Amino acid sequence: MAISLTDLMSMHEGLELSFQAFADLMMVLDAHGRVLEFRGRESGPYAFSNAILGKNIADVFPPLEVKKIERALAHVEKTGNVATFEYSLSQAGVEFWFDARLAPLSKTQFLLTARDITICRETESRLNRKMQQLSALRSLDLAIVSGLDLHLLLSMFLDQVSMLLHADATALLLLNPKTNLLEFVSGKGFYSNALQHTRLRLGESFAGKVALERRLTHIPDLSQHQTEFARSPYFAAERFVSYYGMPLIAKGTVLGVLEIFQRSPLDPDADWLNFLKMLAGQAAIAIDSATMFKELQISNLELNIAYDATIEGLSRALDLRDKETEEHTRRVTDIALKLADSLGVQDSERIHVRRGAILHDIGKVAIPDQILFKPGPLVEEEWTIMRRHPDIAVQLLSPVTYLAPALDIPHWHHERWDGTGYPDRLRGDAIPFTARLFAFADVYDALTSNRPYRSAWRKQEALEYIREQSGKHFDPDIVPVFLELVNAKSID
């Protein structure tokens, strides 16, 4: 007996609704793969029209996908079980991914449903790319604190720049403060070694101009600049087409120039440029602290200063995307330290509160823009990704030994006193004390700030919320101490 989709829909109340929510395509097929009925989105790249009715799937889908559906049909016919598989359709060079299921309706009829999972796929690969970039920054950081020789460090650094930015050749020149000349320190991907002897005055050639003008310089077509590299016949032999030069600046001083040479035209996206800036920032810190290591007898205090430069470098990775977080970070650190002082946190622990606060949301660097800056509420899938930011912070920071005691805040700042928080649903005293006190700083500052998803609450509303959430979100023993600090205008 044939069941039509309409019958099916009326048999199961709510099926129509769940179709709208869960399926982007629904088809009834016979055992030969003929389309008996279908429902689909009316528009979009994978919209089908009624013209496919009565046709075979072979006339509707590309051959590879037809194979998958046929295999599923054979499986369902034989076993009577549902088959699941993924397939992709591409349109105008864009690939769309679908999660499909095939279920038996009767002996001769089968229901194919498919859901568009393109966004999930994209988010996943974006997350992977971000993690890769982050681990590059991290290994650079590790190299800094381990006091590696600067030449080795910069050579490693260029390896990573070449790989992550897909650069044909990269070079690093450092400004020698005694001679005021830019000297070639390290290069990757060049055919000849001739450039190793490069010494440039400020303003001379590309790198000299970058250092003098202190800004990112892009030359899309090097052939328009013949005179610039006439000084070296070897340079012409490299057949470079385009160029990026980035000044390395730490504490307001130009330390050198990072250069990227491409043998083809280069048209990078915002992500690429941001990452280049981030890498240049890290390299500047590395060079600055390496020079510092050399020049100073390293005392414990000085080592801490170098550590803190590294932490600030890391947290800048987040600020680069969102000016607002820079302010948020400064304020929550301030509030958390005041609260820590009032609660009698020991001096030795104080530094870890400070570092933990600065890094608390570092895991958000792996959250895609369209989620982080979404102007409205998050849907479940987006929350799943957003809730990963504490664990990402741990993955990112745990190899850095001196940060181990500072990890409680990044790891558990979204736990709640009543056990409904994330990532571990810790409850009460099981939540580390510094994470419990930090939640006050984070939520209070978040509520009284404008967010992409809502505008700021008034101070009184935020305080009311904190009072109301005592014993729910917040440690009830800390609530009065926090309110007292606000009362006394110690916290604004």
Q: Scan residues 202-221 and list those touching ligand SIN (CB under 6 A).
A: 205-207
* Closer residue to Fe ion in complex, CB, 188/416: 416
Cα 261 to Cα 278: distance, rounded to the nearest angstrom: 18
Q: Which of the listed partners (Fe ion, ligand SIN, ligand C2E, none) does 195 bind, with a CB threshold of 5 to 8 Å by partner kind? A: ligand SIN
Q: Scan residues 344-403 and list those touching Fe ion (CB under 5 A).
A: 361
Residue 51 DSSP class? G
The answer to the question of residue 99 lying near Fe ion (CB under 5 A) is: no
Q: In angstroms, what is the minimal distance from the CB of 235 to ligand SIN?
A: 6
Q: Which of the listed partners (ligand SIN, ligand C2E, Fe ion, none) does 443 bind, with a CB threshold of 5 to 8 Å by partner kind? A: ligand C2E
Cα 410 to Cα 437: distance, rounded to the nearest angstrom: 12
The answer to the question of residue 415 lying near Fe ion (CB under 5 A) is: no
Closest CA to 390 of 376, 378, 407: 407
User: In angstroms, what CA-CA distances link 63 with 56, 67, 87, 91, 98?
Assistant: 12, 6, 11, 15, 16
Q: Scan residues 224-283 and list those touching ligand SIN (CB under 6 A).
A: 229, 259
Tokens matching residue 105: 């309706």
83-91: strand order across its sheet: 35-40, 25-30, 109-116, 94-104, 83-91
Q: Scan residues 27-86 and list those touching ligand SIN (CB under 6 A).
A: none
Instruction: List interacting residues with ligand C2E (CB under 6 A).
Output: 374, 377-378, 386, 414, 442-443, 446-447, 451-454
* Closer residue to ligand SIN in complex, CB, 99/382: 382
Helix (H) or strand (E) holding 354: helix 347-358
* Closer residue to ligand C2E in complex, CB, 208/356: 356
The answer to the question of residue 171 lying near ligand SIN (CB under 6 A) is: yes
Closest CA to 410 of 366, 472, 379: 366
Q: In angstroms, what is the minimal distance from the CB of 368 to ligand SIN?
A: 18
Binding mask 172-201 for ligand SIN (x = CB under 6 A): -x----------x----------x--x---
Q: Scan residues 421-480 and list those touching Fe ion (CB under 5 A).
A: 442
User: In angstroms, what CA-CA distances link 187 with 133, 152, 223, 243, 449?
Assistant: 20, 12, 22, 14, 45
Q: Which of the listed partners (ligand SIN, Fe ion, ligand C2E, none) does 374 bind, with a CB threshold of 5 to 8 Å by partner kind? A: ligand C2E
* Closer residue to Fe ion in complex, CB, 101/321: 321
* Closer residue to ligand C2E in complex, CB, 399/452: 452
Q: Which residues contact 239 (CB under 8 A, 6 or more apart)?
A: 263
Q: In angstroms, what is the minimal distance from the CB of 430 to ligand C2E?
A: 18
Q: In angstroms, what is the minimal distance from the CB of 171 to ligand SIN?
A: 4
Cα 45 to Cα 90: distance, rounded to the nearest angstrom: 8
* Closer residue to ligand C2E in complex, CB, 115/321: 321
Cα 103 to Cα 73: distance, rounded to the nearest angstrom: 9
Q: In angstroms, what is the minimal distance from the CB of 195 to ligand SIN?
A: 5
Question: Rounded to the nearest 10 degrees, what angle do helices 118-145 and 270-295 cross at?
Answer: 10
Cα 331 to Cα 3: distance, rounded to the nearest angstrom: 63
Cα 357 to Cα 362: distance, rounded to the nearest angstrom: 10
Judged by the rule CB under 6 A, the positions of this chain that interact with ligand SIN are 171, 173, 184, 195, 198, 205-207, 229, 259
Judged by the rule CB under 5 A, the positions of this chain that interact with Fe ion are 361, 442
